[in-house]
């Protein structure tokens, strides 16, 4: 037998097996299918496939109650392999789902429904305590009710670009990155149990371009890096006196922010905190602040008035670069007082 024929037979056999595997999986996705681990008293759902627009998750699988829906269980695609070789991805059908009912008794759904792009309606039972990453990328979700049992929701609604309305229960204590790229969200009240808006790649409210109103609770202590990155509809904000730290870039690119009242208990205006806030007209630095970081107000082209207390002992490079204030005689004199000579030319002097 020629080498060419042998190769043809091998390739043909591979394609035949591949076709059988593909057909088998495709057939299975035509009706609901659950892959799960079950033991005495609990069941973990690892994978769902099916093409129904409405899914009612069963309360019992494998003779045990469903207690957990694992990360990626409803992912719209899954890896397909031939033995140990990665072939590609196959649709699980979950991108068709519009409505999901979760049974009472489920305690964990972290990351379970990420990427369900057509999901519009879901109930969360009061037995669930964490929804971290659960609805990331659910681009059709417009509103949702969060039960009071939820305490952790880090990254829960990132990239939910249609989300407009949400009320958060007071029991929530952690929500880092929860609303990144929620471009339709207009207002939010942070629960009183939240003490920090932590550092994340794109900020807790990063790129929420329609966000107009944010109410921060007394008790909040930490506003992390890039928290309000490019929130271009924010016009004003009051930082409660409980806040002691505002980390670099917290209001980066908030180009319609005209006014902000800072906490009296912060000691540092960090690097890039108000970078590109081109509508900011005035700022009063609280007594107790000792340092204004590099580029802290860079690009604040409307900044005509700045009040700096005697407690400030250093102003970083480019802190007021591109601001009208930096070009006034008083501004130049004040900046020169703090900025080392080798960097003074970079501050508009």
Give me the half-sphere count of Cα atoms (radius 13 Å) on the Cβ side of residue 337.
Answer: 15
Select from 36, 32, 78, 26 the least CA-distant residue to 56.
32
Can you read off the two tokens belonging to residue 272?
């890039």
Q: What are phi and psi of 13, to 5 degrees?
A: -65, -40
In the chain the domains, ranked by start, together with CATH numbers, are: 29-174 (3.80.10.10)
Per-residue pLDDT in tens (0 to 9) along the chain, 349 residues: 444 433 333 333 333 333 333 333 443 445 789 999 999 999 999 999 888 999 999 999 999 999 999 999 998 876 444 444 444 445 677 889 999 999 999 999 999 999 999 999 999 999 999 999 999 999 999 999 999 999 999 999 999 999 998 999 999 999 999 999 999 999 999 999 999 998 888 899 999 999 999 999 999 999 999 999 999 999 999 999 999 999 999 999 999 999 999 999 999 999 999 999 999 999 999 999 999 999 999 999 999 899 999 899 999 999 999 998 887 666 777 777 776 554 444 444 4
Give pLDDT, residue 22.
38
Q: According to the 3-state scheme, what is the secondary structure of 88-126?
A: EEEECCHHHCCEEECCCCCCECCCCCCCCCCCCEEECCC
Give pLDDT, residue 80.
43
Can you read off the two tokens belonging to residue 296?
């802290």
Rounded CA-CA distance 26/259 in Å is 56
Point out which residues pair with 246 in neighbouring strands: 223
Rg of the chain over all Cα atoms, to the nearest angstrom = 26
pTM over 0.75: yes
Point out which residues pair with 222 in neighbouring strands: 196, 245
Do residues 109 and 135 make contact, with C-beta atoms less than 8 angstroms apart?
no
Give pLDDT, residue 340.
58
Give pLDDT, residue 339.
67
Give pLDDT, residue 282.
93
End-to-end CA distance of the chain: 84
Rounded CA-CA distance 208/190 in Å is 15
Give pLDDT, residue 281.
95
Q: How far is residue 36 from each of residues 44, 120, 219, 312, measured CA to CA in Å?
A: 5, 25, 42, 60
Q: What are phi and psi of 89, to 5 degrees?
A: -120, 150
């Amino acid at each position: 037998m020629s080498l060419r024929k042998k190769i043809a037979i091998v390739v043909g056999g591979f394609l035949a097996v591949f076709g059988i595997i593909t057909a088998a999986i495709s057939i299975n996705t035509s009706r609901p299918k659950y892959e799960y681990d079950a033991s005495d008293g609990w069941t973990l759902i690892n994978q769902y496939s099916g093409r129904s627009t409405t899914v009612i998750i069963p309360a019992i699988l494998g003779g045990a109650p469903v207690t957990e829906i694992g990360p990626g269980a409803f992912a719209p695609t899954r890896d397909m392999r031939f033995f140990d070789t990665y072939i590609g991805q196959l649709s699980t059908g979950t991108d068709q789902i519009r409505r999901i009912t979760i049974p009472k008794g489920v305690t964990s759904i972290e990351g379970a429904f990420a990427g369900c792009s057509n999901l519009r309606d879901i109930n969360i039972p009061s037995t669930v305590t964490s929804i971290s990453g659960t609805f990331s990328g659910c681009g059709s979700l417009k509103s949702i009710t969060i039960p009071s049992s939820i305490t952790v929701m880090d990254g829960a609604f990132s990239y939910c670009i249609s989300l407009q309305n949400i009320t958060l229960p007071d029991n929530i204590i952690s929500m880092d990155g929860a609303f990144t790229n929620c471009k339709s969200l207009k207002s939010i009240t942070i629960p009183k149990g939240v003490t920090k808006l932590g550092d994340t790649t794109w900020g807790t409210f990063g790129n929420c371009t329609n966000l107009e109103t944010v109410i921060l609770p007394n008790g909040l202590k930490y506003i992390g890096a890039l928290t309000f990155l490019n929130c271009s509809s924010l016009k004003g904000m009051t930082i409660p006196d409980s806040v002691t730290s505002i980390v670099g870039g917290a209001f980066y690119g908030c180009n319609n922010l005209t006014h902000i009242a800072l906490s009296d208990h912060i000691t540092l205006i960090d690097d890039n905190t108000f970078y590109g806030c081109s509508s900011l007209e005035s700022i009063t630095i609280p007594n107790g602040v000792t340092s204004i970081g590099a580029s802290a107000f860079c690009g604040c082209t409307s900044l005509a008035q700045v009040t700096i207390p005697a407690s400030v002992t250093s102003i970083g490079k480019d802190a007021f670069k591109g601001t009208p204030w930096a070009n006034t005689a008083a501004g130049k004199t004040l900046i020169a007082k703090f900025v080392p000579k080798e960097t003074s030319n970079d501050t508009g002097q």
